């Protein structure tokens, strides 16, 4: 899907596909780049979130119109950072405990229906299926 979206860009689409994936076929270079991208992307997003929180705590929340609202700014304080870190740790621990002790709690019950190649599953039946 990403390859098709990139190749649809006029003039530079083919170059982007070769730069990002190494070509249009699925080969070792393509799979390596795909796995690296999917491994690094969550860490990059997490780093951006940390930077965003840091600047939000340093400068406070402001409006995009540029109106001076220094009265409404929340100053940087250790309490806010500790509060965010504790919240992140509690969320991480709770998600880890759910994943370790009850891994099927957040899954779809349809995962346990035995496969039947002669019938189409309900969740992928198109609208015109019963016409």
Let me know the angle formed at the C-alpha of 44 by 14 and 107, rounded to the nearest 5 degrees. 95
Name the active-site residue from 68, 102, 108, 127: 127
Selecting among 57, 69, 108, 119, the annotated active-site residue is: 57
State yes or no: is 57 an active-site residue: yes
Task: Examine the residue annotation and report whether 84 is marked as an active-site residue of this protein.
Answer: yes
Which of 27, 83, 92, 94 is the catalytic position? 83
Whose tokens are 């699925």? That residue is: 26
Q: Given 14, 52, 58, 61, which residue is catalytic?
A: 61
Structure-block tokens of residue 96: 């880890």
Contact 72, 60 (CB under 8 A): yes
| 61 is an active site residue | yes
Instruction: Indicate if 83 belongs to the active site.
Output: yes
Q: Using CA atoms, how far apart are residues 82 and 86, in angstroms rounded to an integer?
A: 6
Query: Annotated catalytic sites, by residue?
Result: 57, 61, 83-84, 127
């Amino acid at each position: 899907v990403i390859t098709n979206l990139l190749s649809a860009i006029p003039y530079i689409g083919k170059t982007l596909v070769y730069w990002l994936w190494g070509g249009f076929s699925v080969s070792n270079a393509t799979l390596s780049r795909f796995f690296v991208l999917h491994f690094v992307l969550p860490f990059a997003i997490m780093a951006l979130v940390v930077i965003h929180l840091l600047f939000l705590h340093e400068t406070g929340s402001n409006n995009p119109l540029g109106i001076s609202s220094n009265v409404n700014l929340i100053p940087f304080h250790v309490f806010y950072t500790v509060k965010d870190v504790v919240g992140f740790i509690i969320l991480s621990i709770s998600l880890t405990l759910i994943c370790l002790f009850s891994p099927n709690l957040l899954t779809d019950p349809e995962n346990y229906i035995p496969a039947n190649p002669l019938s189409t599953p309900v969740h992928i039946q198109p609208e015109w299926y019963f016409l």
